[in-house]
């Protein structure tokens, strides 16, 4: 199932985990006169054959000059290049924080690589405006944007149910007309929702991600149930007072020996220090 494209090494770690993002203020050797490249950010473009949100959290640009890796740069940035003047190939990979962790920055290979040719001159800043799309091999197995009349999430063993917000409270709607919401209190301390459908996700190290937008004042968790109903946690997500985007890596849990098919779950237990926990969700997208 596209093993050559979809192994965990090629999809998730197509670039090694970054231990230190390269400083955009790094000085070139004094005996060389550098050219400069400026990148304000990477834009995610729509696809005619894929219905998905354009919300993203592309934080870094992984830059290749004439197919040689230069490094990863936090957007926006301006950085020097020591090379011969003239036309050069530039490729830029869209970088994310894996599981939202700053220390694990990788190229997200479900996004395409930007490819262009630029004319580089000493002492001259060349501005590049890269863009990306989802790669043609990306499968959107599940999309829940809370805009339909029904919700593809069920509530089991939960003290409350997932609801939908509307534009009467705009701050609780990420985009469109609705988002999902769960509310807890002292008499309703636990929430869990699960994907209504189960999924035959690829194993053997093939990459599987859950993308989502969220806002919460309480820690919550994401993971999977296998066919034997073993619950496997993938990530605990810290509160965010503003809408955020995260790319949750489900690969280890899916490939860890559990029996398919799998169900996705999101749960939250009331923090004793939070009187009224709230969790808002939007654009839940399962990709492999």
Q: What is the pLDDT along the chain (288 residues), one digit of tens a residue?
A: 444 444 444 444 444 444 334 444 444 444 589 999 999 999 999 986 677 899 999 999 999 999 999 999 999 999 999 999 999 999 999 999 999 999 999 999 999 999 999 999 999 999 999 999 999 999 999 999 999 989 999 998 899 999 999 999 999 999 999 999 999 999 999 999 999 999 999 999 999 999 999 999 999 999 999 999 999 999 999 999 999 999 999 999 999 978 999 999 999 999 999 999 999 999 999 999
C-alpha pair distances (Å), 198 with each of 42, 201, 247, 261, 286: 33, 9, 20, 6, 11
Task: Note whether 61 and 12 are within 8 A (CB).
Answer: no
Task: Note whether 105 and 62 are within 8 A (CB).
Answer: no
Q: Name which of 231, 186, 209 is nearest 100 in CA terms.
A: 209
Residue 27 — φ and ψ, nearest 5°? Answer: -90, 140
User: How high is the pLDDT of residue 212?
Assistant: 97
User: How high is the pLDDT of residue 149?
Assistant: 86
Task: Note whether 219 and 279 are within 8 A (CB).
Answer: no
Q: How far from the centroid of its chain's Cα atoms is residue 32's Cα?
A: 38
Compute the distance between CA of residue 78 and CA of residue 76 in angstroms, rounded to an integer. 7
C-alpha dihedral sign at 278, 193, 269, 221: negative
Classify residue 258 by its DSSP letter. Answer: P
Global model pTM greater than 0.95:
no
Query: 123 is written with which tokens?
Result: 């002492």
């Amino acid at each position: 199932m596209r093993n050559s494209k979809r192994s965990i090494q090629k999809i998730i770690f197509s670039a090694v985990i970054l231990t230190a993002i390269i400083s955009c203020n790094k000085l070139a050797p004094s005996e060389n006169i550098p050219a400069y490249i400026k990148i304000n950010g990477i834009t995610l473009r729509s696809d005619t054959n894929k219905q998905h949100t354009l919300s993203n959290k592309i934080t870094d640009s992984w830059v290749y000059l004439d197919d040689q890796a230069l490094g990863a740069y936090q957007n926006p940035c301006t950085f020097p290049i020591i090379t011969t003047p003239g036309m050069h190939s530039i490729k830029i990979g869209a970088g994310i924080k894996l599981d939202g962790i700053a220390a694990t920055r990788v190229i997200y290979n479900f996004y395409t690589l930007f490819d262009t040719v630029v004319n580089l001159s000493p002492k001259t800043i060349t501005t590049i405006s890269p863009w990306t799309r989802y790669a043609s091999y990306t499968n959107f197995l599940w999309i829940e944007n809370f805009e339909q009349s029904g919700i593809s999430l069920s509530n089991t063993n939960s003290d409350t149910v997932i609801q939908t917000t509307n534009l009467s409270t705009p701050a609780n709607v990420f985009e469109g007309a609705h988002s999902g919401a769960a509310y807890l209190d002292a008499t309703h301390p636990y929430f869990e929702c699960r994907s209504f459908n189960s999924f035959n996700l690829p194993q053997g190290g093939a990459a599987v991600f859950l993308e989502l937008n969220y806002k919460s004042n309480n820690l919550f968790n994401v993971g999977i149930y296998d066919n034997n109903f073993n619950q496997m946690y993938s990530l605990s997500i810290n509160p965010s007072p503003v809408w955020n985007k995260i790319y949750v890596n489900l690969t280890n849990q899916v490939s860890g020996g559990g029996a398919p098919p799998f169900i996705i779950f999101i749960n939250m237990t009331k923090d004793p220090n939070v009187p009224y926990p709230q969790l808002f969700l939007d654009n839940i997208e399962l990709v492999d």
